[in-house]
Homo-oligomer: A and B are copies of this chain.
Amino acid sequence: MSESFRDLLETFENQYPNRDYTIQIVCPEFTSVCPKTGQPDFGTLTITYVPDQRCVELKSLKFYLQRFRNEGIFYENVTNRILDDLVAVLQPRRMTLVAAFTPRGGITTTVTASMTSRHGDAPAA
């Protein structure tokens, strides 16, 4: 299994824990490598979360995401893995990750995963 980059994520204390508010972070410069073809993939990640005690430090998030630059990983897996890492480190009240990749072979794929969506509680497709 591939190396974990989770330790690169740094956090700072949420100064307004009594209020549920939303932080949205858009990262249009995400790139990883397709494990099957060895070709680079490109996408835009949109992270939306309601912080509890901790917020993610943006510079550390940038370095964390850059570690996928030469990592071979499928669309579906990278989306779920980044969501898992952020949830583990931040323990937010809510979190959704949308990963929109660029077209390949005339086909464009977007993967959306939420921390709160367990099996049996599916969002309307």
Contact = CB atoms under 8 A, between A and B. Distances in A.
For the complex formed by this chain, how many copies does it contain in all?
10
A59 B125 CA distance: 22
A122 B93 contact: yes
A3 interface: no
Given A20-B118, A24-B110, A102-B106, A96 B125 contact: yes
Interface string A4-32: 00000000001111111111111111010
A116 B96 CA distance: 22
A124 to B, nearest CB: 7
A121 B47 CA distance: 20
Interface in A16-65: 16-29, 31, 39-40, 42, 48-51, 55, 58-59, 61-62
